[in-house]
Amino acid sequence: MVKIIGIVGSPRKKGNTDYLVKEALQAAEDVGVDTEIINLAGAEIEPCVACDICKATGECAIYDDVPGILSKLVDSQGIIIGSPVYFGNVTSQLKMLIDRSRPLRMDFKLKNKVGGAIATGGSRNGGQETTIAAIHKFLLIQDAIIVGDGEPMAHYGGTGVGTCAEDELGVQTSRNLGKRVAELAIKLNNE
């Protein structure tokens, strides 16, 4: 069975990013995949200390929640990553996870996994595109396959603004993204 992991990069357990990632995962489930959400709020994530041990061993030398999260990404066929906009970029929680994913790149463990991004902000053009671009760069460096929302409205993925439960466009672009990630992951894993 194809599995899609949703990562919520917000420091809040319940908020706009969590809401839109759940909408994306529900749309993915509607296509027929299993999903799991990982909320970084409250997760123990230490920053990379550039020790380079991962280059020698393929594993990070820091023992916190990151190895378990990375293992789930490796075991999945699709990844949806969401972040609120923090000064035009991802949150520090998500950035630390991205930096600590270096062991996965040693032999490209995320290669050909289908990935997509969601960003939430205080205004319609409040940095969502730059935040999504940061997530896309991470996925590209890991050699994942990036999809957008499949519709002409957002292009880059899910983009929410304000109170996202009231943002019809944000909900639709996130649901479209979840559907696209699931459809392509199914296609790639059934051939």
Is the separation of the CB atoms in 150 and 24 below 8 Å? no
Q: Kindly state the percentage of the chain with pLDDT values over 70.
A: 98
- Dihedral angle over CA of 125, 45, 135, 76, nearest 10: -130
Token code pair at residue 151:
């519709």
Q: Residue 150: its pLDDT value, please?
A: 85
Q: Residue 191: its pLDDT value, please?
A: 64
Task: List the domain range (segments joined by +) for residue 46.
Answer: 3-189
Residue 64 phi, psi (nearest 5): -150, -150
Q: Residue 189: its pLDDT value, please?
A: 93
Is the separation of the CB atoms in 16 and 164 below 8 Å? yes
Q: How far is CA 190 from CA 36, 91, 113, 148, in A?
A: 20, 35, 13, 21
Token code pair at residue 83:
């972040």
Pairing type for strands 114-121 and 78-84 reads parallel
Q: Is the pLDDT of residue 181 over 70?
A: yes
Token code pair at residue 37:
């959400």
pLDDT in tens, 9-48: 999 999 999 999 999 999 999 999 999 999 999 999 999 9
pLDDT in tens, 53-102: 999 999 999 999 999 999 999 999 999 999 999 999 999 999 999 999 99
Q: How far is Cα 51 from Cα 58, in angstroms, rounded to an integer?
A: 12
- The CA R_g of the chain, rounded to the nearest whole Å, is 15
Q: Residue 151: its pLDDT value, please?
A: 74
Q: Residue 154: its pLDDT value, please?
A: 64
**Average pLDDT, integer, range 98-121:** 97
pLDDT in tens, 133-162: 999 999 999 999 999 998 776 689 999 999
Domain count, the chain: 1
Q: How far is CA 58 from CA 63, 70, 102, 104, in A?
A: 14, 12, 9, 8
Q: What is the CATH number of the domain that holds 41?
A: 3.40.50.360
User: Residue 182, Cα to own-chain centre: how many angstroms?
Assistant: 13
